[in-house]
Every structure is written in structure tokens, then in C-alpha cells.
Amino acid sequence: MIEELIGRVFTARNLAHLEHWKTTGVGSFARHSALGDFYDGIIDKLDGIVEAYIAYFGDIGEPRDIAPKVTALVPLITVDAAWITKNRSEIAKGVPAIENMIDDLVGLYLHTLYKLKRLS
């Protein structure tokens, strides 16, 4: 399950980075900034989760390359935030500290959704 989380996060980060570069126009600064904050922060949060997971359980399997069903960023982030929330205990195998780190990751997803929907 941790392997799927890694694949989903990498996919979201890559899509956000590509969208970040595509922003143009006077009114797009908020979107540009929100996307930058997201792709900058998401890997650090995932890194902490994976390192804690390895410390607790040992090595992880091969991360899966995820082909997203949705390629528009806001729907992808929405779907992934719901998937991560639904599977958080299974991903963390019931370890509260790892669950808390996953909650922090979901918080970044939700904060980004807020910025993209309300400030862009």
C-alpha cells in the first residue's frame, strides 16, 4: 500500500510542476504560487512518511508507476486526497505516528485545493 501512495504522490507532484510552468497572465500568480508550494512540500512530507515506514517495518516494495484516471490537477488532487484518507490506517499499518504524518500530507492536499479553487 505504501508503494501506491508513493506512485500517487509522484504523479501529483509531476502534474503540479507541469501546471506550474504553464501558468500565464496577471491573475495567475496565486495559482502559480499554490502549485509551487504543493510540489515543493509534497515530496518532503512523503520522504518523512517513507523513512518512518522503513524505520518501523523495514524495506518497502517497488513503488508503482500510477497512470492517473484523471489528468486535470484539481480532480486528481481531490481523488488522491480521498484515497489517502480512506487508506491511511492500512498504509500506516495502524502506527499512529505514521498516520499523523499521512494526515499532514492530506492537509497539504486540502490546503492546495482551497488555494486553487478559491484564490486562482
Residue-by-residue DSSP string for 7-65 = HHHHHHHHHHHHHHHH--SGGGHHHHHHHHHHHHHHHHHHHHHHHHHHHHH----PPPP
Q: How far apart are CA 6 and CA 62, in angstroms?
A: 10
In the chain, % of residues over pLDDT 70: 92
- The answer to whether the beta carbons of residues 96 and 41 sit under 8 Å apart is no
- Residue 32's pLDDT band (cuts 50, 70, 90): confident
Stretch 45-50: mean pLDDT, rounded? 98
Model-wide pTM > 0.85:
yes
- Residue 72's pLDDT band (cuts 50, 70, 90): confident
Q: Which residues contact 99 (CB under 8 A, 6 or more apart)?
A: 88, 89, 92
Please give the C-alpha separations between residue 8 and each of 52, 79, 83, in angstroms, as whole numbers: 18, 10, 10
**What's the confidence (pLDDT) of residue 67?**
66
In the chain, % of residues over pLDDT 90: 72
Mean pLDDT computed over every residue of the chain: 91
The three cell numbers of residue 120 are 486562482
